[in-house]
Structure 1
Amino acid sequence: MTKFPTYPVLLVDDEDTWLRSFSLALKSHGIDNILCCNDSAKVPEILATTEIEVMAVDLAMPGLSGQELIDAVSATNPDIPILVITGMSQVETAVQCIKRGAFDFFVKTNDKSSLVSGIRHAIEIRELKRENSSLRTRFLQDTLEHPEAFTPIVTCSKVMRSIFQYIEAIARSTQPVLITGESGVGKELVAKVIHDLSGRQGEFVPVNVAGLDDNIFADTLFGHKKGAFTGADRARPGLVENAKAGTLFLDEIGDLPQASQVKLLRLVQEREYLPIGSDVTRKTDARIIAATNVDPESMGETERFRSDLYYRLRGHHVHLPPLRERLEDLPLLIDHFLRQGCQQRKRPAVPAELLTLLLGYDFPGNIRELQFLILDALSCSGDEELNMDRIKAHVNKHPAAARKVQPGEGTRLQFGPELPTLKHVCAELVREAMRRTGNNQALAASMLGVSRQALNKRLNKLREKEDGQA
């Protein structure tokens, strides 16, 4: 069972009864990684050996007072949020503690739910600070700590690399993740990578919620008791239970009915749910990742989808670009799908026109559509050359998917007041072709309409020129 938060909440009070009651209150709200200390003098020793997420400290303690302890911890461990627990007569002192570095204060006689909310808020702030620090390091150093985790995603795109760096920074967070992007861009693949990097011991449990009515949604996710309804001859645990200590991936979340959205909001917000036919609320530690092909900007504003649920799900947001915005990946993806389809057969040669044809296509179905085109072409190809007939027929059937020509990208080039030299234009064309094909010389030569040998000569001249300038 994965405990929440990752590092323990430290409760410090000399009254054991208060420590027990507050621990129970926290556990009933899903915060179960707790350390209790009834001697404030032992706190420095605990901090020296254990990483602490949040502290809650009572002001009125014998020996080392709460105020002295807060001063000491703020000086040596300024990143740890400290919540001050005070009596009615000590509010002024608590305010002074806030000015000296404490995160917040609560009156001990108040309802414990306010203190639980304060602890949860402090945990969220600590996670955000940790993620921001991780993001800064990764972007400044342009590094990935676990590049092997992204092997299933075939890409050489700089945009995708930035997304990978963001994913590494948020992977261990407990906050929900919303993945957006058009159909076929690989949202479930990315969700699985986030799970693999999270360090969670449980399973990755995917479910497509599109088309599920409220009853089926509740039964699928939350399960039911035996006898809950006609035909329920045995209990069903539900997918939330299957995802304990793991990740629950909800695909096509934008199509969820309103009634189901209310149930999901409770799951996301309170980390609890009610199986059908049960009066006993169950807790979950499953991390929730949701995905939708609905535009994220309109999703939070439309009446069809609850804005409170949308912003809860969007604890972190990953937006995947469509294939037409990462065309530099086309050569790699074509090669990947060819290898995928030729595991039990000889790989046919690829016609030079394939890349040129596909570079002019918009791929409304994205990577999934490209996979279909390549595997479909293989199914009707011999061993010598990839049959292009079905690919051409598919592209010609979808004229609306012809890629929009950008300024200067069509047959008529745009020039400034001074014309570039032919040598300069040729050099830039070669560089652009190599960039678009991921440095694949055969595909770049095909795109430029020259032989591979001719392209190789031009590349050698460019290298000699660059070496001479260096």
Structure 2
Amino acid sequence: MIVDDDPFNVQLLQELLHDTYELRVAKSGEQAVQLCRQENQPNLILLDIELPDMDGYATCQTLKGQESTAHIPVIFITVKGLETDETKGFEVGAVDYITKPFSPTVIKARIHTHLSVQRSLLQAQELLSLRNEVKHLTQGLLKDTLQQPDAFAAIITQHPSMFALFRYMEALAKTNEPILIQGESGTGKELIADALHKLNGRSGKQVSVNVAGLDDFTFSDTLFGHRRGAFTGADSNRDGFIAQAEGGTLFLDEIGDLSNTSQIKLLRVIQERRYYPLGMDQSRPMDVFLICATHQNLEEKVKEGSFRQDLYFRLNSHRIALPALKDRLDDLPYLVEHFIQESAQILGKEPPIASKRMMLELDCRTYPGNVRELRGTIFDAMVQHQSNQELELPGTQGAAPMNLTLETPDSAPKDMESYLDQMDGFPTLDQMERQLVTLALAKTNGNQKLAASLLGLSRQALNRRLNRRLKDLNGSPDSKPLE
């Protein structure tokens, strides 16, 4: 930025520098201060001393006294003056002092040098911050026990992968960097965000907003707020969600649906940690712990061109990937027991015991809706449940034992390769055994002797496998989620 009220000097500098740099001009110190408060801040300021409203020294002192502009290097350019003038320039925060007339080669070299120094300082600060963060993460991940187990009390699990995730979350929680939660619909991204908020320990509240379907204007107004008169209908000032979450946590759900323009706005506020309410030309600081979530594959969206690569890289450095329910079926007994108790309390019923048939049928499902789907299934079963009976899935009361029709042979693929292609990832041997046993029982209408024959097993061997599954499914459902 060139700050000078002399048109001749401005034109001279523009002709000299326009091929190398993007230039902005301010004709007074006050205008320079206002321009520096806006979103597109200059990387360096060429500042004249003799200005109409406040001189260059006062302008520089004002810029250096504000957190949002203190980092911008200032070079004074003026006619040859006294040594005391040059000393005063450095005292108010300038990095250089160039007198007129100046050599084009000299001024270009000075500008290049100070921009390089500024970049090096920023890189050094980022590197130091990154090193401290890596050290903190490493220390957290090496611990075997949770430091704050109460933060995870709402998440029902005994699965090792989830406890590894919890330890990672504890290591991440004190960072000021944004965190990305990725997981299929129904896996519990909101619960993870709640746990992160508790772990972070901020005194402010948690504010959540689903940004799916918001156009660019609504996105800006929702996050940044507006001042009175900013647009038609803006009859009063309104704080956005960033201001409402000040000192706390802001949770943005479904960011994968944001438009490109909204993605740019989100990236800018993450990088600068400042934002502009609609109708204001002065930025405000963002003091929130930012958590973003999506059920979409952002890496694929980047390849498709529908999600910005720079925003993806900014978010992906602190990513929490939630496993699908089908990848932690060992948690099924604990989740079923929890949802039975929850539904019983809502419906005012006594909590029944889940039947073995119900548990085995639940174990054979794939759960595209994940934990949310399981919760709905249990609630539906509880609505229809009659007292003094074991809990069964709707429509299975009185059915023949082990008549598993959830995955019928008619829908089974004709060959193994196509079957594997339909699965999400390569299956384990245990998963394949479950599927084969389920299909064999479905094909034989629950006849274990015929199913064993199809599988090339004795009936006793099939029984052992089924009993082992039932034992796993009914093992210690009363255990606490976290110990």
1:128 aligns with 2:134: yes
- The corresponding residue for 2:344 is 342
The residue identity in structure 2 corresponding to 1:165 is R
Residue 367 of structure 2 is matched in structure 1 by 363
Report the CA distance between 1:348 and its aligned residue: 2.9
Kindly indicate whether the alpha-carbon contact (under 8 Å) linking 2:353 and 2:391 is maintained by their aligned counterparts in 1.
Answer: no
Going from structure 1 to structure 2, the CA distance change for 1:341 and 1:23 (only over 3 Å counts) comes to farther
- State the 1:108 CA deviation: 8.1
For 2:468 and 2:357, locate their aligned partners in 1 and report how far apart those are by CA, in whole Å: 19
User: What is the Cα deviation at residue 111 of structure 1?
Assistant: 6.5
* Kept after mapping to 1: 8 A contact 2:359/2:473: no
Superposed counterparts of 1:136-147, under 5 Å: 137-138=142-143, 142-147=144-149
Match in the other structure for 1:306: 308
- Does the CA-based 8 Å contact 1:380-1:387 persist in structure 2? no
Partner of 2:251: 249
- Asked if the contact 1:131/1:169 (under 8 Å) is kept, the reply is yes
Structure 1 residues 303, 116: closer, same or farther in 2, change over 3 A? same
Displacement of 1:427 after TM fit? 7.8
2:224–2:242 Cα contact (<8 Å) kept: yes
Cα distance in structure 1, aligned partners of 2:361 and 2:63 = 64
Counterpart of 2:381 in structure 1 is: 377
Partner AA of 2:156 in structure 1: V
| Cα distance between partner residues in 2 of 1:21 and 1:280 | 18
2:278 to 276, 279, 284: 276
- SS for the counterpart of 1:339 is helix
Q: What is the number of equivalent residue pairs in this alignment?
A: 342
Task: Name the structure 1 match of 2:355.
Answer: 351
Identical columns (%): 38
Q: Which amino acid aligns with 1:260?
A: S
**Aligned 8 A contact 1:29 1:270 in 2:** no
Separation in 1, partners of 2:287, 2:131: 19
Contact 1:177 1:316 in 2 (8 A): yes
DSSP-derived class of the 1:156 partner: coil
Unaligned runs of 5+ in 2: 1-56, 72-94, 97-112, 398-403, 413-418, 442-455, 479-483
Instruction: Please show how residues 448-467 of structure 1 align to structure 2 within 5 Å.
Output: none
- Tell me the residue number matched to 1:63: none
Deviation, structure 1 residue 22 = 12
Q: Is the 8 A contact 2:360 2:470 kept in 1?
A: no
Q: Cα–Cα, structure 1 residues 155 and 283, in superposed 2: closer, same or farther, change >3 Å?
A: same
Shift of 1:299: 3.6
Cα distance in 2 for residues equivalent to 1:268 and 1:391: 51
Q: CA deviation at 1:324?
A: 0.7
What are the within-5 Å matches in structure 2 for residues 55-454 of structure 1?
A: 115-135=121-141, 137-138=142-143, 142-343=144-345, 344-385=348-389, 388=392, 390=394, 406-409=431-434, 410-411=436-437, 433-440=470-477
2:163 maps to a residue whose letter is R
* Equivalent residues of 2:184, 2:295 under 8 A apart: yes
- Post-superposition Cα deviations, 1:304-352, rounded to whole Å, max 9, x if no partner, equal 0001011111231110111111111111111101111112322234222
RMSD: 3.9
TM-score normalised by structure 1 residue count: 0.64
Please say which structure displays the higher CA radius of gyration: 2
SS in 1 for 2:238: coil
**Structure 1 spans left out of the alignment, 5+ residues:** 1-16, 32-85, 88-106, 414-418, 442-470
* One-letter code aligned to 1:237: D
Residue aligned with 1:28, SS: coil
Q: Which amino acid aligns with 2:208?
A: P
* 1:27 aligned residue (42, 50, 67): 67
The amino acid across from 1:134 in the alignment is G
Pair 407,374 (structure 1): closer, same or farther in 2 beyond 3 Å: closer
Shift of 1:195: 1.0
Is the 8 Å Cα contact of residues 247 and 289 (structure 1) preserved in structure 2? yes
- TM-superposed CA distance for 1:296, in Å, is 4.1
Aligned to 2:91: none
1:288/1:356 Cα in 2 relative to 1: closer, same or farther (>3 Å)? same
